[in-house]
Amino acid sequence: MSNTVEGNVALVTGASSGIGQATALALSKAGYRVAVGARRADRLRALTQDAPGEMLALDLDVTDRRSVQDAVSATVKRFGALDVLVNNAGVMLNGPILNADLTQWTRMVETNLLGSMYAVHASLPHLLESKGAVVQVSSTSGRTASAVSGVYSATKFGINAFSEALRQEVTAQGVRVVVVEPGFVATELTSHNTDPAMQAAAKAMAASMRTLQPEDIASAVLYAITQPEHVAVNEILIRPTDQT
């Protein structure tokens, strides 16, 4: 990856809302050519229209290996390279372990953990070629587990473990691995949980603090990937000041 950002190519998964959308816009503003993937094509279309630079919208379901491979191939076909993968797509369907709906566990593991691994697998040959970077959007839940977030935390601990192994495998070849661990960010993430108790808890938590905004995480991502090539920012833990 060249030190000049201009024209470098990024692929952002889960770019139809929240952190992914803000990161895609920040990268576009900084001069990256950006491919954005998610399932909600209408949102991606609107994003490409708002983007200051060249942006490619891709239908992407990270739980589908073929879809992930196709998104990476389409990015490289359009832009000729891949310098940065922002592995961001994720869902959080919190709830107690007792009597949990197992389809929600499967969805979290397939999206957050396996989906993110598929994206690394498909992107890595290109990132080795460009000496690029992988940004893994983990969470404070990847460092500390707590009640009702057992499976979500397990996926984020898994991302951190996978990222450290990946780092050891590719750092000598110039590929940098960045784990970003946000605390509470105001996004749609908690709205997908249909359990009224979980929704109420999320609302109460949001009301109790000045939450982070998606742009705060986008700034952290941009900081990490624009350091000189000999500097690897491996981990960024970023919480709202008010979050204990």
Catalytic residue ranges = 152
18 touching ligand NDP, by CB under 6 A: yes
- C-beta closer to ligand NDP: residue 25 or 130: 25
**What amino acid is encoded at 100 in this protein?**
A
Q: Which of 63, 123, 130, 149 binds ligand NDP (CB under 6 A)?
A: 63
Residue 16 CA to residue 44 CA, distance in Å, equals 5
- C-beta closer to ligand NDP: residue 90 or 132: 90
Q: Which of 33, 182, 202, 240 binds ligand NDP (CB under 6 A)?
A: 182
**Pair 115, 62: CB distance under 8 Å:** yes
14 touching ligand NDP, by CB under 6 A: yes
Residue 10 dihedral angles phi and psi, to the nearest 5°? -125, 145
**Which stretch, 55-63, 119-127, 166-174, 202-210, contacts ligand NDP (CB under 6 A)?**
55-63
Residue 39 CA to residue 15 CA, distance in Å, equals 9
Residue 240 CA to residue 212 CA, distance in Å, equals 5
Within 134-153, which residues bind ligand NDP (CB under 6 A)? Answer: 137, 139
For Cα atoms 233, 237, 238, give the angle at the middle one, nearest 5 degrees: 115
Residue 228 dihedral angles phi and psi, to the nearest 5°? -55, 155
Q: Which of 10, 34, 58, 92 binds ligand NDP (CB under 6 A)?
A: 92
- C-beta closer to ligand NDP: residue 46 or 131: 46
